[in-house]
């Protein structure tokens, strides 16, 4: 038998000024430009209704772009229906065919790709082995657990060696513990085979964990694109700052600038941080809850309004002249009582100026 | 991947080009006497005889030269065989040859008939033709399909519906057949209403027939007779109202009472589906007719003179109420069960009593269902033909008046057309009201999420009368059916009550001889014809219905709403109207199929198609769309997806559609009675014929046999579907993992 290890024909995906309008005036995707490099895992992240699933379905060919151009590899696929695109997709509901066995499900796409029956069978078995379901080939989908069904769906998409593999919220039907396991498996397979993957989720933690690059979408447009670290550490605006992880937004004054850095001041407390193109005057900073230092020597006066014990850490709501912030603290053994007066400072790389 | 798509598309293209050539060069172009399948024509001068020749041979012999342009339309596509699908020329050539060829085929069919040119202006322009043509045969039909599908492939190649050949072709095909077999006959009938006796068109003729006193007269207020239109309308409103109330009683007993024998009640509702509609009328005659058992009993008891009170409005009303209550029940049970129990439970926790809950929550939520049931009863009563024919007496209704206008001594096609238009106006108004008014008002609250609650019981003050009504009605129904069976074994009802099997013997005797079985009974001919026609029509009905349902649930295209309305329309067209319009439309070329079995099959397909569509839509909307989408992203095209994913999962719906259309084809009477011929007689029209000859024994014995045959068919379905459903239960857990 031939060695039929599953290979990869990973190809880049390119969106040029793509829009999608449903009916007369419902704009689901508004003039986006997007480049997904070959062999990378890119996540489309955003709240529901932001257009991320529509974008994914336009890559699959299940929705047709109203205007603009879509390229997969060096081929213009804008007008091609799903059948004729070299793309496969893992659905949120898995969409396993209930009247076919696991093996028949995985072989389904192969039989349409011109493989002889033997070849299709051995490729399908190999695919099942790859997702750790060896020996399950004669079961019906209904005889598998949710996690196993999910892996069959992945195998069914993988064995076609698609140019692009699409995931539509693949973990949303799994319980919390299984999610971590499965997302690590998906990432491992993607990296081993060097696949181009586009992945839709609304869970920011999932996105941070699996992605090479994250595309945050809002109101049918792209809000920001970048590596997980870029998005987390340097969000472009309030929306991204708040959507990826939690962020406290505080008003401040930029009192001086020097090259790439700026010095800000809140209630007399000063800190120097990257300038991000801003000039002197009022501005907004975003600070992650974990980057607020409670009880620092120098800082802003605040009062503990609420203290919650959640096991691994303490969560505090602090109030002061600046408004209200949310902070976490690792010291669970000496919690602060509500009403305690404290000084609040920022960690060294903590706050970030929002250009917007 | 590109090569794959272009390859399959061209296979389809090649197939249809070859089909077109076969139709043009090999098969007889015109209708063959004795049918194509007898193959007598093969030995009777084919291919040169004018009656049997294919189009190409006709042209070669210098005849029917107007068929020649079709050759161009069939040749052009060959030029683009080697071109890619995305090439604009490919699409353009296919659209051009398909549209022109198809258009030309239709134009010449209508333009040239049995007496040369059909229109005076054609004759004025081209002069006397000196030739003529008859109805199109298989050659023309296959040629027409080929040209139609060349056209749809061209449209698909231009990028319609993402260039999907299967979907575009299916849409084109359904639109074409619905146009030909629903809209065209109806239009033809509308024109017939304006035709004077010497063949000219006149509005005055229409008005004189329309304002006939027999149609709109109000004489019944002054002791005379009312017009048929008022009679029908009044009867339909009454029947709609009563069946709705009775149906609601049944539904409430089944869902919201502690009554023990609910299953028996439910079983009773299957009966009208398998009963030829006029059988109830027959049973009522046995009970309440002049020599009916009840009439006799009462007459002897009180010494009264037996009267003919049953014949007329009361008889039709009772028969229709009996026949259509189960239909109202089937509509209402869905609605009554569909009211989410949690709504009712919520009302109860908000301190509403059971009666208050029922009045303020349950009943208002059922309101759209009640209106729906009323309209259905209204339409069914309007369209009913069998019961008025058997029980009508002097009470004229539209459906029977249409029949007598065509069949009776008056033979007035124009009057039949006018009456049919009035009838159509009533039913279409009801149909339209149902769609516009109820479409947006469905309160049924089935979400697919498990709803753990249970329906509360009816308040006691309500449950007692409801139970009494339902039970009384059920007992009456059982008596009626018992009478049918008993009546079939009585020598001569009311005169000689001795038991005998002679009616069955007359109808279904067989003799075993050396050559095999000889079917000597009087009923066998029509029985086998009925079975054959029903068996041919059933799979075609199911196929057309399911393809239409697939297009409606799974595809989006311009004009989809009009498409849906058009396909569901034939549901609202009464059978008598279909019958009249088919006679008017298909008695002359280009489509000349009256008197054949084909017209029966066709009429069944389009009468019963809406049922197949409804069944298909219902079960297809339960299949998650992501199943098709994942099949598409895995490289299957839409035809492969339809065949390998949707059809296997729809097996129960397919079986239901099959058996239902089979049974409906066996029980139908209203359209059939216009379309049967000596050669193709159907069971129901045979029975009606016996009734008209006062041969009740044979009629009832035959009806009983039919009921049992269909009971067997439905039973078989229950067994088969039951088995499939066991498989489905496990499937549904896959689709919604919890």
CATH of the domain at B368: 1.10.3720.10
Residue A160: closest CA among chain B residues belongs to which residue?
B634
Six-digit token string for B656? 């239901």
Torsions phi, psi for A338 (to 5 deg) = -55, 140
Question: Taking Cα atoms as reference points, which of A149, A150, A147, A152 lies closest to residue A130?
Answer: A152
**The pLDDT value given to residue A83:** 84
End-of-domain residue from the set A185, A203, A238: A238
B439 confidence band (pLDDT: 50, 70, 90):
low
DSSP secondary-structure letter at A86? S
Cβ-defined contact of B629 to A156 (cutoff 8 Å): no
Residue A165: closest CA among chain B residues belongs to which residue?
B633
B297-305, long-range: CB within 8 Å, 24+ apart, which pairs? none
A5 confidence band (pLDDT: 50, 70, 90):
low
Judge if B562 and B683 occupy the same domain.
yes
* Residue B437 placed within a domain: yes
* Residue B512 placed within a domain: no
Judge if B462 and B585 occupy the same domain.
no
pLDDT above 70 (res A288): yes
Please answer whether residues B103 and B148 qualify as being in contact, where contact means their C-beta atoms are separated by less than 8 angstroms. no
Interface of B with A in 617-646 (CB under 8 A): 624, 626-627, 629-638, 640, 644-645
Judge if B460 and B565 occupy the same domain.
no
Kindly give, in sequence order, each residue whose CB lies less than 8 Å from that of residue B286, ignoring residues fewer than 6 positions away.
B292, B293, B483, B484, B487, B493, B696, B700
Judge if A287 and A187 occupy the same domain.
no
**The pLDDT value given to residue B734:** 36
Kindly give, in sequence order, each residue whose CB lies less than 8 Å from that of residue A172, ignoring residues fewer than 6 positions away.
A92, A201, A203
End-of-domain residue from the set B143, B158, B173: B158
* Residue A182 placed within a domain: yes
CA–CA gap between residue A25 and residue A5 (Å, rounded): 47
**The pLDDT value given to residue B218:** 73
The mean pLDDT value for B365-393 works out to: 86
Taking the Cβ of residue B725 and every Cβ of chain A, the question of whether any pair is shorter than 8 Å is answered with: no
Taking the Cβ of residue B163 and every Cβ of chain A, the question of whether any pair is shorter than 8 Å is answered with: yes
Six-digit token string for B66? 């107007």
Please answer whether residues A275 and A323 qualify as being in contact, where contact means their C-beta atoms are separated by less than 8 angstroms. no
Buried b (16+ CB within 10 A) or exposed e, A236-273: bbebbbebbbebbebebebeeeeeeebbbebeebebeb
**10 Å Cβ neighbour count for B336?**
24
**10 Å Cβ neighbour count for B270?**
16
Q: Lowest-pLDDT range, A173-187, A200-214, B94-108, B649-663?
A: B649-663
Q: How far is B735 from chain A (nearest CA, A)?
A: 7
Chain A residue numbers touching B638 (CB-CB < 8 A): 83
End-of-domain residue from the set A180, A203, A238: A238
Judge if B11 and B131 occupy the same domain.
yes
Kindly give, in sequence order, each residue whose CB lies less than 8 Å from that of residue B533, ignoring residues fewer than 6 positions away.
B597, B600, B601, B604, B665, B680, B682
Judge if B298 and B419 occupy the same domain.
yes
* Residue B388 placed within a domain: yes
Please answer whether residues B322 and B280 qualify as being in contact, where contact means their C-beta atoms are separated by less than 8 angstroms. yes
State the Cα angle at A220 between A154 and A88, rounded to 5°: 20
Taking the Cβ of residue B608 and every Cβ of chain A, the question of whether any pair is shorter than 8 Å is answered with: no
* Residue A308 placed within a domain: yes
Q: How far is B630 from chain A (nearest CA, A)?
A: 7
Taking the Cβ of residue A86 and every Cβ of chain B, the question of whether any pair is shorter than 8 Å is answered with: yes
End-of-domain residue from the set B158, B180, B207: B158
Domain count, chain B: 3
Kindly give, in sequence order, each residue whose CB lies less than 8 Å from that of residue B353, ignoring residues fewer than 6 positions away.
B459
Taking the Cβ of residue A22 and every Cβ of chain B, the question of whether any pair is shorter than 8 Å is answered with: no
**The pLDDT value given to residue A2:** 42
Cβ-defined contact of A61 to B735 (cutoff 8 Å): no
Q: Is the peptide bond before B83 cis (omega within 30 degrees of 0)?
A: no
B242 confidence band (pLDDT: 50, 70, 90):
very high
CA–CA gap between residue B75 and residue A199 (Å, rounded): 50
B444 versus A190: the higher-pLDDT residue is A190
Judge if A89 and A232 occupy the same domain.
yes
pLDDT, one tens digit per residue, over B190-219 is 888 887 767 677 777 777 777 777 777 776
* Residue A276 placed within a domain: no
Q: How far is B144 from chain A (nearest CA, A)?
A: 29
CA–CA gap between residue A352 and residue A286 (Å, rounded): 5
**The pLDDT value given to residue A37:** 94
Judge if B662 and B543 occupy the same domain.
yes
- Look up tokens 């009368």; give the residue: B465
Size of interface A-B (CB pairs under 8 A): 103
* Residue A264 placed within a domain: no
Residue A109: closest CA among chain B residues belongs to which residue?
B634
* Per-state percent for chain B, helix, strand, coil, to nearest 5: 70, 5, 25
Six-digit token string for B31? 């209708």
Taking the Cβ of residue A282 and every Cβ of chain B, the question of whether any pair is shorter than 8 Å is answered with: no
Cβ-defined contact of A89 to B629 (cutoff 8 Å): yes
State how far the alpha carbon of A97 is from the alpha carbons of A330, B628, B641, in Å: 49, 9, 11
A58 confidence band (pLDDT: 50, 70, 90):
very high
Residue B85: closest CA among chain A residues belongs to which residue?
A80
* Residue B206 placed within a domain: no
Chain A residue numbers touching B648 (CB-CB < 8 A): 99
pLDDT, one tens digit per residue, over B560-606 is 888 888 887 777 788 888 888 898 888 887 888 887 888 999 999 98
What ipTM, to 2 d.p.? 0.78
The mean pLDDT value for A111-118 works out to: 87
CA A211 to chain CA centroid, Å, is 6
**The pLDDT value given to residue B34:** 66
**The pLDDT value given to residue B151:** 92
A298 confidence band (pLDDT: 50, 70, 90):
confident
Chain A residue numbers touching B640 (CB-CB < 8 A): 112
* Residue A260 placed within a domain: no
- H or E stretch covering A286: strand A281-287
Nearest neighbour of B635 by CB, restricted to A92, A142, A160 = A160
CA–CA gap between residue B730 and residue B726 (Å, rounded): 7
Judge if A20 and A122 occupy the same domain.
yes
Chain B residue numbers touching A84 (CB-CB < 8 A): 1-2, 4-5
Expressed as residue numbers, the domain containing A304 is 246-252+281-353
Judge if A234 and A334 occupy the same domain.
no
What does the radius of gyration of chain B's CA atoms come to, in whole angstroms? 28
pLDDT above 60 (res B727): no
Half-sphere exposure of B676 (CA within 13 A, CB side): 24
The mean pLDDT value for B476-498 works out to: 84
**The pLDDT value given to residue B443:** 53
CA–CA gap between residue B221 and residue A90 (Å, rounded): 72
CA–CA gap between residue B543 and residue B540 (Å, rounded): 5
Please answer whether residues A82 and A62 qualify as being in contact, where contact means their C-beta atoms are separated by less than 8 angstroms. yes
Nearest neighbour of A160 by CB, restricted to B626, B634, B727 = B634
CA–CA gap between residue B279 and residue B260 (Å, rounded): 30
Judge if A66 and A203 occupy the same domain.
yes
* Residue B120 placed within a domain: yes
Kindly give, in sequence order, each residue whose CB lies less than 8 Å from that of residue A164, ignoring residues fewer than 6 positions away.
A10, A11, A13, A36, A59, A72, A86, A87, A196, A197, A198
* Residue A203 placed within a domain: yes
Q: Lowest-pLDDT range, A227-231, B199-203, B474-478, B654-658?
A: B199-203
Cβ-defined contact of A114 to B2 (cutoff 8 Å): no
B306 confidence band (pLDDT: 50, 70, 90):
confident
Helical axes B165-178 vs B524-554, angle rounded to 10° = 130
pLDDT above 70 (res B625): yes
User: Which of B6, B634, B736 to mutate to probe the A interface, most A CBs <10 Å?
Assistant: B634
How high does pLDDT run on average in chain A? Answer: 89
Q: Beta A261-266 vs A248-258: how paired, if at all?
A: antiparallel
pLDDT, one tens digit per residue, over B58-98 is 888 888 888 888 888 888 888 888 888 778 888 899 999 99
pLDDT, one tens digit per residue, over B697-719 is 888 999 999 988 888 887 887 77
**The pLDDT value given to residue B239:** 95
Taking the Cβ of residue A288 and every Cβ of chain B, the question of whether any pair is shorter than 8 Å is answered with: no
Report the number of secondary-structure helices (H) and strands (E) in chain A: 8, 20
**10 Å Cβ neighbour count for B354?**
20
* Strand locations in B54-146 (E): 112-113, 116-117
End-of-domain residue from the set B104, B125, B158: B158
Judge if A95 and A209 occupy the same domain.
yes
**The pLDDT value given to residue B721:** 63
Expressed as residue numbers, the domain containing B262 is 247-443+453-487
Q: Is the peptide bond before B50 cis (omega within 30 degrees of 0)?
A: no
pLDDT above 60 (res B441): no
The mean pLDDT value for B173-199 works out to: 86
The mean pLDDT value for B156-177 works out to: 87
Question: Taking Cα atoms as reference points, which of B193, B139, B134 lies closest to residue B594?
Answer: B134
Domain count, chain A: 2
pLDDT-above-70 percentage for chain B: 93
Cβ-defined contact of A93 to B634 (cutoff 8 Å): no
Chain B residue numbers touching A99 (CB-CB < 8 A): 648-649, 727, 731
Six-digit token string for B622? 């339960």
pLDDT, one tens digit per residue, over A268-283 is 888 888 888 888 889 9
- H or E stretch covering B526: helix B524-554
Judge if A38 and A182 occupy the same domain.
yes
Tell me the CATH number at A81.
3.40.50.300
Please answer whether residues A60 and A98 qualify as being in contact, where contact means their C-beta atoms are separated by less than 8 angstroms. no
Judge if A219 and A312 occupy the same domain.
no
**The pLDDT value given to residue A154:** 92
Judge if B413 and B338 occupy the same domain.
yes
Nearest neighbour of A149 by CB, restricted to B163, B637, B737 = B737
B728 confidence band (pLDDT: 50, 70, 90):
very low
Q: Lowest-pLDDT range, A257-261, B512-516, B551-555, B578-582?
A: B512-516
**The pLDDT value given to residue B373:** 87
The mean pLDDT value for B490-506 works out to: 81
Judge if B12 and B141 occupy the same domain.
yes
Taking the Cβ of residue B731 and every Cβ of chain A, the question of whether any pair is shorter than 8 Å is answered with: yes
B497 confidence band (pLDDT: 50, 70, 90):
confident
How high does pLDDT run on average in chain B? Answer: 81
pLDDT, one tens digit per residue, over B99-112 is 999 999 888 888 88
A113 confidence band (pLDDT: 50, 70, 90):
confident
**The pLDDT value given to residue B667:** 85
Judge if B476 and B551 occupy the same domain.
no
Residue B164: closest CA among chain A residues belongs to which residue?
A81
Cβ-defined contact of A140 to B640 (cutoff 8 Å): no
**The pLDDT value given to residue B738:** 32
**The pLDDT value given to residue B440:** 53
Q: Lowest-pLDDT range, A119-128, A246-255, B263-272?
A: B263-272
Helical axes B413-439 vs B228-256, angle rounded to 10° = 40
CA–CA gap between residue A291 and residue B694 (Å, rounded): 99
**The pLDDT value given to residue B109:** 84
**10 Å Cβ neighbour count for A117?**
10
pLDDT, one tens digit per residue, over B6-49 is 444 578 888 999 999 998 888 888 877 766 777 777 777 777 77
The mean pLDDT value for B382-393 works out to: 87
CA–CA gap between residue A143 and residue A147 (Å, rounded): 12
Tell me the CATH number at A335.
2.40.50.140
Cβ-defined contact of B627 to A62 (cutoff 8 Å): no
Please answer whether residues B153 and B168 qualify as being in contact, where contact means their C-beta atoms are separated by less than 8 angstroms. yes
Judge if B457 and B562 occupy the same domain.
no
Judge if B25 and B151 occupy the same domain.
yes
Judge if A65 and A192 occupy the same domain.
yes
B730 confidence band (pLDDT: 50, 70, 90):
very low
* Residue A272 placed within a domain: no
**The pLDDT value given to residue B39:** 75
* Residue B421 placed within a domain: yes
* Residue A184 placed within a domain: yes
A189 versus B208: the higher-pLDDT residue is A189
Chain A residue numbers touching B7 (CB-CB < 8 A): none
Interface of A with B in 142-201 (CB under 8 A): 142-143, 146, 149, 153, 156-157, 160, 166, 173
Nearest neighbour of A84 by CB, restricted to B1, B159, B631 = B1
A316 confidence band (pLDDT: 50, 70, 90):
very high
Judge if A44 and A177 occupy the same domain.
yes
* Residue B172 placed within a domain: no
Question: Taking Cα atoms as reference points, which of B272, B376, B372, B382 lies closest to residue B316?
Answer: B382
Please answer whether residues B326 and B272 qualify as being in contact, where contact means their C-beta atoms are separated by less than 8 angstroms. yes
Judge if B470 and B574 occupy the same domain.
no
**3-class DSSP state of B420:** helix
Cβ-defined contact of B734 to A112 (cutoff 8 Å): no
User: Which of B626, B635, B636, B651 to mutate to probe the A interface, most A CBs <10 Å?
Assistant: B635
Question: Taking Cα atoms as reference points, which of B529, B508, B485 lies closest to residue B707?
Answer: B485
CA B338 to chain CA centroid, Å, is 27
DSSP secondary-structure letter at B676? -
CA–CA gap between residue B247 and residue B331 (Å, rounded): 8
């Amino acid at each position: 038998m031939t060695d039929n290890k599953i290979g990869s024909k990973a190809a880049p995906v390119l969106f040029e000024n793509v829009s999608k309008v449903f009916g007369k005036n419902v704009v689901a995707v508004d003039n986006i430009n997007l480049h997904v490099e070959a062999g990378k895992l890119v996540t489309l992240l955003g709240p529901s209704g932001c257009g991320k699933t529509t974008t994914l379905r336009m890559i699959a060919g299940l929705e047709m772009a109203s205007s603009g151009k879509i390229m997969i590899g060096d081929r213009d696929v804008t007008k091609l229906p799903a059948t004729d695109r070299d793309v496969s997709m893992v659905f949120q509901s898995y969409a396993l065919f209930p009247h076919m066995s696991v093996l028949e499900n995985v072989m389904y796409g192969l039989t349409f790709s011109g493989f002889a029956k033997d070849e299709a069978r051995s490729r399908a078995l190999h695919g099942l082995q790859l997702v750790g379901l060896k020996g399950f080939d004669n079961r019906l989908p209904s005889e598998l657990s949710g996690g196993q069904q999910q892996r069959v769906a992945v195998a069914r998409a993988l064995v076609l060696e698609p140019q692009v593999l699409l995931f539509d919220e693949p973990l949303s039907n799994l319980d919390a513990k299984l999610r971590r396991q499965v997302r690590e498996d998906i990432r491992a397979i993607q990296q081993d085979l060097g696949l181009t993957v586009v992945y839709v989720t609304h869970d920011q933690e999932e996105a941070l964990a699996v992605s090479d690059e994250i595309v945050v979408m809002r109101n049918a447009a792209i809000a920001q694109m970048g590596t997980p670290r870029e998005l987390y550490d340097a969000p472009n605006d309030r929306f991204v700052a708040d959507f990826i992880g939690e962020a406290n937004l505080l008003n401040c004054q930029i009192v001086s600038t020097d090259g790439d850095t700026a010095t800000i001041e809140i209630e007399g407390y000063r800190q120097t941080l990257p300038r991000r193109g801003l000039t002197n005057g009022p501005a907004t900073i975003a600070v992650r809850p974990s980057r607020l230092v409670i009880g620092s020597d120098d800082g802003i006066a605040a009062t503990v309004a609420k203290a919650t014990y959640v096991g691994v850490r303490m969560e505090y709501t602090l109030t002061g002249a600046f408004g209200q912030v949310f902070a976490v603290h690792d010291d669970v053994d000496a919690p602060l009582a509500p009403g305690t007066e404290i000084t609040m400072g920022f960690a060294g790389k903590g706050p970030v100026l929002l250009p917007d | 991947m590109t090569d794959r798509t272009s390859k399959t598309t061209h296979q389809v293209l090649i197939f249809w080009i070859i089909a077109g050539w076969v139709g043009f060069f090999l098969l007889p172009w015109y209708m063959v006497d004795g049918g194509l399948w007898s193959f007598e024509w093969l030995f009777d001068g084919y291919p040169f005889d004018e009656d049997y020749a294919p189009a190409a041979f006709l042209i070669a012999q210098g005849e029917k030269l107007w068929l020649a342009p079709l050759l161009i339309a069939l040749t052009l596509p060959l030029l683009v065989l080697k071109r890619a699908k995305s090439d604009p020329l490919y699409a353009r050539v296919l659209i051009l040859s398909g549209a022109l060829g198809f258009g030309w085929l239709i134009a010449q069919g209508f333009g040239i008939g049995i007496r040369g040119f059909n229109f005076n202006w054609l004759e004025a322009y081209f002069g006397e033709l000196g030739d003529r043509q008859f109805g199109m045969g298989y050659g023309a039909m296959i040629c027409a399909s080929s040209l139609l599908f060349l056209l749809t492939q061209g449209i698909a190649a231009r990028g319609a519906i993402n260039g999907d050949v299967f979907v575009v072709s299916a849409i084109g095909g359904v639109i074409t057949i619905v146009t030909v077999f629903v809209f065209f006959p109806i239009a033809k009938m509308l024109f017939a209403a304006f035709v004077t006796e010497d063949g000219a068109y006149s509005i005055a003729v229409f008005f004189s027939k329309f304002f006939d006193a027999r149609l709109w007269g109000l004489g019944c207020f002054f002791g005379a007779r009312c017009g048929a239109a008022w009679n029908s309308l009044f009867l339909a409103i009454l029947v709609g109202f009563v069946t709705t109330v009775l149906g609601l009683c049944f539904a409430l007993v089944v869902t919201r009472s502690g009554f023990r024998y609910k299953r028996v009640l439910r079983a009773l509702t299957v009966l009208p589906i398998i009963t030829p509609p006029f059988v109830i009328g027959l049973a009522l005659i046995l009970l309440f007719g002049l020599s009916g058992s009840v009439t006799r009993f009462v007459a002897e008891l009180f010494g009264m003179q037996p009267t003919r009170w049953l014949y007329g409005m009361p008889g039709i009303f009772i028969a229709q109420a009996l026949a259509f209550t189960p239909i109202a029940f089937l509509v209402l049970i869905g609605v009554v069960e569909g009211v989410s129990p949690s709504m009712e439970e919520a009302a109860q926790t908000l301190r509403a009593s059971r009666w208050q809950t029922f009045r303020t929550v349950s009943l208002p939520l059922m309101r759209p269902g009640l209106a729906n049931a009323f309209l259905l009863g209204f339409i069914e009563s309007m369209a009913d033909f069998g019961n008025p024919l058997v029980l009508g007496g002097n009470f004229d209704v539209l459906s029977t008046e249409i029949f007598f206008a065509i069949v009776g001594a008056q033979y007035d096609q124009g009057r039949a057309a006018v009456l049919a238009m009035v009838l159509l106006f009533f039913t279409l108004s009801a149909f339209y009201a149902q769609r516009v008014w109820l479409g947006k008002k469905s309160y049924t609250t089935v979400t697919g999420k498990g709803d753990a609650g249970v329906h509360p019981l009816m308040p006691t003050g309500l449950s007692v009368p409801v139970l009494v009504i339902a039970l009384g009605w059920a007992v009456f129904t059982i008596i009626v059916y018992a009478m049918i069976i008993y009546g079939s074994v009585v020598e001569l009802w009311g005169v000689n009550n001795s038991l005998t099997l002679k009616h069955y013997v007359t109808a279904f005797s067989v003799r075993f001889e050396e050559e095999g079985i000889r079917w000597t009974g009087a009923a066998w001919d029509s029985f086998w014809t009925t079975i054959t026609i029903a068996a041919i029509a059933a799979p075609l009905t199911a196929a057309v219905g399911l393809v239409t349902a697939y297009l409606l649930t799974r595809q989006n295209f311009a004009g989809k709403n009009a498409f849906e309305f058009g396909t569901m329309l034939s549901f609202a067209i009464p059978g008598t109207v279909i019958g009249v319009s088919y006679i008017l439309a298909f008695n002359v070329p280009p489509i000349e199929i009256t008197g054949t079995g084909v017209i029966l099959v066709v009429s069944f397909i389009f009468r019963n198609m809406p049922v197949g569509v409804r069944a298909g839509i219902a079960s297809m909307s339960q299949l998650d769309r992501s199943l098709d989408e994942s099949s598409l992203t895995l490289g299957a095209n839409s035809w492969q997806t339809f065949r390998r994913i949707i059809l296997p999962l729809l097996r129960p719906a397919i079986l239901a559609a099959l058996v239902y259309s089979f049974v409906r084809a066996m029980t139908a009477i209203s359209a059939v009675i216009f379309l049967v011929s000596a050669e193709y007689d159907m069971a129901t029209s045979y029975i009606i014929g016996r009734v008209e000859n006062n041969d009740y024994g044979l009629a009832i014995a035959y009806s009983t046999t039919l009921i049992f045959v269909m009971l067997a068919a439905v039973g078989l379905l229950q067994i088969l579907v039951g088995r499939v459903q066991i498989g489905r239960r496990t499937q549904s857990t896959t689709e919604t993992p919890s």
